[in-house]
């Protein structure tokens, strides 16, 4: 038997689905999203960080081009205390705010004294800090994590007693639910929660299927533990081997833009549900935008493109990524994000691009890519599988 998030018991199925929703309201624009992603991987860009901060503080997003970050609800402890989490394949720790946090905004705070199953067998501390100084720190504990109708006991948790202002002020996101390999973890866990659930017989396989819905369709998504959900993809899943078991790292073996190959040699690619954008080395980002009429780069805004691409022939231009042995195509129109602020020369019809650049030896395939493809992260076979996502 398992315990559901409302505290009632339910029969365990052989997999569990968690509904994901896009954040709503005032959220970060694309330059601010880029800054957050660069900090996560300690990368740099031609876009000035000070200018990124300025842009973020003065521009509100249009509801037409909503920012993309997906959150879902988990329970921790018995009875379950509920938290809204970002399910992140680009990190490995599970962390939530602790009652000892004095500056965690208005987030719910986990109270160990209210859980009958909490264990703190050491006074070990931990911390996770990014290149821009943002991050979290606190203590380590263990407790039951409730995912839908399944309950996984004795899970290592980072209990946050201090967090940076950007995290504290996020109105929707309480914590991070890491889904990468355990060697990436800062809390010292020896295996991912997905592998632990498999070992205990809660799910049939150590895999997670991820569907990220589109804003135009309501922005709903789904996380499926134990097996893929064919309701959310078309055709057959194809496998891309993991090249290093830390991040979900695969090999980008080709990049075609409008039929022309632009990649001279393979490059590492990280599949990251916790990053909004596709982030490429500068020369690759430039080669893609060079084929899209009207695209422009500036140190103020980064890459922008015509908003009307969604309704023009140029929007049909294909950007094709070869991951492993398989090709995955995006239309240029699928790269258009929210409207940018008018520039000094009066431009008012440019939108931010879903492809950003950085000084990086790798690429990061974030939600701009993953919205178009259902993805499955398989710890048993060390592959990421993809199929076209259903509309």
Q: What is the DSSP string of 186-250?
A: SS--SS-HHHHHHHTTSSSSSEEEEE---GGGTSEEEEEESS--GGGB-S--EEEE-SEETTEEE
Structural domain boundaries in the chain = 2-26+67-223, 233-388
What's the pLDDT band for 156 if we cut at 50, 70, 90? Answer: very high
CATH code linked to domain 233-388? 2.40.70.10
Residue 379's pLDDT is: 98
Tell me whether domains 2-26+67-223 and 233-388 share a fold.
yes
Q: Higher confidence at residue 215 or residue 109?
A: 109
For 308, phi and psi rounded to 5 degrees? -75, 5
In this prediction, residues 283-289 reach a mean pLDDT of 95
Long-range own/partner contacts, residues 226-229 (CB < 8 A, 24 or more apart): 226/14, 226/15, 226/16, 226/197, 226/198, 226/202, 227/14, 227/15, 227/203, 228/374, 228/376, 228/385, 229/17
Alpha helices, DSSP H, located in the chain: 30-41, 49-58, 165-168, 193-199, 282-289, 367-370
- Tell me the per-residue pLDDT of 5-64, one tens digit each, with 9 for 90 and over: 544 433 344 567 888 765 544 445 666 667 777 777 777 767 655 444 333 222 122 222
Question: Considering the entire predicted model, what is its pTM?
Answer: 0.86
In this prediction, residues 52-79 reach a mean pLDDT of 54
In this prediction, residues 297-301 reach a mean pLDDT of 84
DSSP state, 260?
A: E
Annotated catalytic residue within 67, 88, 93, 170: 88
Catalytic annotation present for 272: yes
In the predicted structure, residue 216 carries a pLDDT above the cut 70: no
What's the pLDDT band for 133 if we cut at 50, 70, 90? Answer: low
Catalytic annotation present for 380: no
Annotated catalytic residue within 174, 272, 367, 378: 272
- Which has the minimum average pLDDT: 82-86, 135-139, 216-220? 216-220
What's the pLDDT band for 345 if we cut at 50, 70, 90? Answer: low
> From CA 285, how far away is CA 321, in angstroms rounded?
13
In this prediction, residues 241-253 reach a mean pLDDT of 97
Instruction: Give the architecture (CATH level 2) of 2-26+67-223.
Output: Beta Barrel (2.40)
């Amino acid at each position: 038997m398992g315990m559901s998030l409302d505290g009632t018991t339910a029969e365990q199925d052989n997999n569990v689905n968690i509904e994901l929703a896009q954040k709503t309201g005032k959220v970060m624009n694309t330059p601010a999203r880029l800054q957050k992603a660069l900090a996560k991987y300690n990368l740099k860009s031609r876009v000035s960080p000070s200018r990124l901060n300025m842009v973020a503080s003065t521009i509100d997003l249009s509801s037409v081009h909503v920012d993309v970050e997906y959150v879902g609800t988990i329970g921790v402890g018995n009875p379950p205390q509920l938290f809204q989490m970002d399910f992140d394949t680009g990190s490995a720790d599970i962390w939530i705010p602790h009652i000892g946090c004095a500056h965690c905004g208005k987030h719910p705070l986990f109270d160990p004294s209210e859980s009958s199953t909490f264990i703190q067998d050491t006074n070990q501390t931990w911390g996770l800090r990014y290149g821009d100084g943002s991050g979290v720190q606190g203590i380590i504990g263990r407790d039951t994590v409730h995912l839908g109708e399944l309950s996984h006991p004795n899970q290592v948790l980072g209990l946050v007693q201090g967090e940076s202002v950007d995290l504290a002020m996020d109105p929707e996101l309480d914590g991070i639910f890491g889904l990468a390999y355990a060697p990436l973890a800062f809390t010292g866990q020896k295996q991912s929660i997905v592998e632990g659930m498999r070992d205990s017989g809660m799910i049939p396989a150590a895999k997670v299927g991820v569907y990220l819905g589109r804003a135009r369709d309501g922005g709903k998504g789904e996380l499926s533990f134990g097996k893929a959900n064919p309701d959310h993809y078309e055709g057959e899943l194809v496998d891309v081997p993991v090249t290093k078991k830390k991040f979900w790292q695969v090999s980008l073996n080709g990049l075609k833009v409008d039929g022309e190959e632009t990649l001279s040699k393979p490059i590492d690619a990280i599949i990251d549900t916790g990053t909004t954008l596709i982030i490429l080395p500068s020369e690759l980002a430039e080669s893609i935008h060079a084929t899209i009429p009207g695209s422009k780069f500036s140190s103020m805004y980064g890459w922008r493109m015509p908003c009307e691409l969604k309704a023009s022939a140029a929007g049909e231009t294909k950007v094709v990524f070869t991951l492993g042995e398989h090709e995955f195509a995006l239309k240029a129109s699928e790269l258009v994000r929210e409207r940018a602020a008018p520039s000094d020369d009066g431009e008012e019809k440019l939108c931010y691009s879903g492809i950003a650049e950085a000084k990086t030896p790798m690429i990061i395939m974030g939600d701009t890519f993953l919205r178009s493809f259902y993805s499955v992260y398989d710890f048993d076979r060390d592959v990421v599988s993809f199929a076209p996502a259903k509309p």
